[in-house]
């Protein structure tokens, strides 16, 4: 865990393959994309999560994906 300015910051997974695997395991479906993978969920089709096709994601991007997926 990281600490900064009195707030506790949780590190999230930044490996894109692991993130994509977890999304798929939780029912998110890849609907394609160009330089990014786009995922939708059958229970919430208006929600879309975009995952860049990079081996490692920045902490900010990974945290944004985690929040959108309901992991944080």
pLDDT of residue 45: 87
The answer, yes or no, to whether residue 66 has pLDDT greater than 80, is yes
CA distance 28 to 58: 21
| CB-based contacts of 30-38 (< 8 A; 24+ apart in sequence) | none
CA distance readout (Å), 65 to 19, 51, 56: 9, 7, 13
- The range of the structural domain enclosing residue 8 comes to 2-69
- pLDDT tens profile 1-56: 455 556 667 789 999 999 999 999 999 999 988 899 999 999 988 999 999 999 99
Domain count for the chain, please give it. 1
The CATH number that applies at residue 18 is: 3.30.920.30
Structure confidence at residue 69 as a pLDDT band (50, 70, 90): very high
Q: Are strands 7-9 and 2-4 parallel, antiparallel or unpaired?
A: antiparallel
In this prediction, residue 5 carries a pLDDT of 59
Q: Is 52 exposed, middle or buried (0-12, 13-18, 19+ CB in 10 A)?
A: middle
């Amino acid at each position: 865990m990281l600490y900064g300015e009195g707030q506790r910051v949780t590190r999230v997974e930044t490996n894109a393959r692991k993130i994509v695997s977890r999304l798929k395991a939780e029912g998110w479906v890849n609907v394609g994309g160009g330089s990014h993978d786009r995922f939708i969920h059958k229970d919430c089709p208006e929600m879309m999560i975009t995952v860049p096709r990079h081996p490692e994601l920045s902490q900010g991007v990974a945290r944004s994906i985690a929040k959108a997926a309901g992991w944080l």
